[in-house]
Structure formats: structure tokens, C-alpha cells
Amino acid sequence: MNENLDLIITVITGAITGTFLWEGFKFFYPDIKQYFKSKIDAKNLFYKNLDPILKSASELYGKIESLSKEDFSTFINLRNSNSSDPIHNQKYVFYLFAQFWAQLEYLRLESQYIDLSKNKKGNQLLRFIETIESRKYRLLDRSIQRVIGECLIINKDQKFRVMTLKDFLEALDTENSPLSKWILLLEQKLLNVRDKEQRQSVLRFGVIISALIDHFDPRYKTVRRRSIYLHKLNPRSKKILEQHLFKYYLKFIKNKKRYYK
């Protein structure tokens, strides 16, 4: 008799517990569903934008590396420039910076309703963007970098895309072009690299771009591996990279010494 009573109690308890669990699940289901959806959306957004960001980063870093080899002669000593047309090369450099900032702005536009930080790699990409826009490492004021990036995002056939080099050059040469006044600020920055600290700030910016490439494409399936111009970094820059950049901003980067040793 007691065994039958215990069985009945167990069945009733199980039914009650199951009912409560089911009711609780139904109550929290929308939040649980939204949680997993936000993580999936963040992951999809990250991988959709990673490839163009990496490619624009690679092009930009390759050009900064090239400029470092010629001691920025394209901007400060045209006769020693490695380019057959230094003035055109200057415009190409402007485009590569603008294109990179545009890819970051494109990501920002697409992530208005998606929390990219829900994805681990997405959160790390946000840290890179914060670094690139931080007072210590940005080349221009944060708002100016963003405006230049926005200028290169155009709407065609109800789709956003980043301006091509041809479109950029034509826009730059157009009289009273809105783009020109913003690019002029970048031009002034690069024409001022005779100043050692100004030059080092560009080189440090390049190191951040290189770290971004290495981190998100460690096997170099999208872009090719490039060397770091360590011999062009002065002791102060190496100290900043070691004791500040990789200690506070990009703590998750592996093989940090590659960028300053």
C-alpha cells in the first residue's frame, strides 16, 4: 500500500513539476529565442563584413609599408619617390585610407540593430575599431575619419557599396567636391610626416592594421602575410605599442612581440 502511495505521489509531483517547468519555459521562451537570434545575427554580420575589411586593411597596410621603405618620399621628397607619378600615388594613398574607414562605417551602418559584441570575434573587431578611433592612435579626429568613410559609401540600386578608385578620383577632382575638403585634412597629415612624431603616428597606425589582419586571418587565406617594419619604429613607438596598445587596447592579441621586438 505504501509503495503504491509513494508511486502516486511521485507521479503527481512529476506532473506538477513538469507543468511548472513548461509554464516557466513558455514565459521565458521569447527571451531565450531572442538571445540565440542575436548571437546568430551578430555572427552572420561579422563574417559578412570580415572579408572586405581584411582586403581593404591589407591594401592599406601594404601601401604604408611601401611608404616606410621610401621614407615617405611620395609626400615629402618627390624626386626620391618609388612611384613614377607621386601625385597620383598620393591620391591612391588617400583612397586606401578612405576605403578602409568606409568599410568600418559600412559595418556600423549594418549593425544599427544588431549587437556585434554578442559574438566573440565581433567584440574583438569592435575593440580594433575603438583603438583606431581612440585619441592616442587615430590619424585624424574620430568624426573626420567617420565622415571620410561615409563619403565613400554610395547608394546604387537600393544597395550600399563602397566607392571604387575611379569614382573616388573623379569625385576628388570635381569642383567644389564635398569629399575634397575632408581629404585635404588627411593630405595635410601625410604632408607633415617630415615631423618625426607625425611619421611615427602613421607607422603605429599601420601596426594596428597589421595586427587586425594577423588576428582575423591567421592562416592568410584572404590576404597575404606581410612583414612588420620594425626598423622604422623608434624606441618610443615600440614602448607605446608594448606598454599601452597591447596591454590595454588589444590584450587578446597573441604573439604581441611580433609588432615591437
- Per-residue pLDDT, averaged over 175-179, amounts to 88
Mean pLDDT of 178-203: 96
Stated pTM of the model: 0.85
* Predicted local confidence at residue 35, as pLDDT: 57
pLDDT band at 84 (very low <50, low <70, confident <90, very high): very high
In this prediction, residue 134 has a pLDDT band, given cuts at 50, 70 and 90, of very high
Contacts 24+ apart (CB under 8 A), 60-66: 60/96, 60/97, 60/99, 60/100, 60/206, 60/209, 61/206, 61/209, 61/210, 61/213, 61/226, 62/226, 63/92, 63/93, 63/96, 64/202, 64/203, 64/205, 64/206, 64/209, 65/206, 65/226, 65/227, 65/229
Task: Point out the least confidently predicted range of 9-13, 15-19, 75-79, 182-186.
Answer: 9-13
Give the mean model confidence (pLDDT) for residues 6-24.
Answer: 52
pLDDT at 51: 95
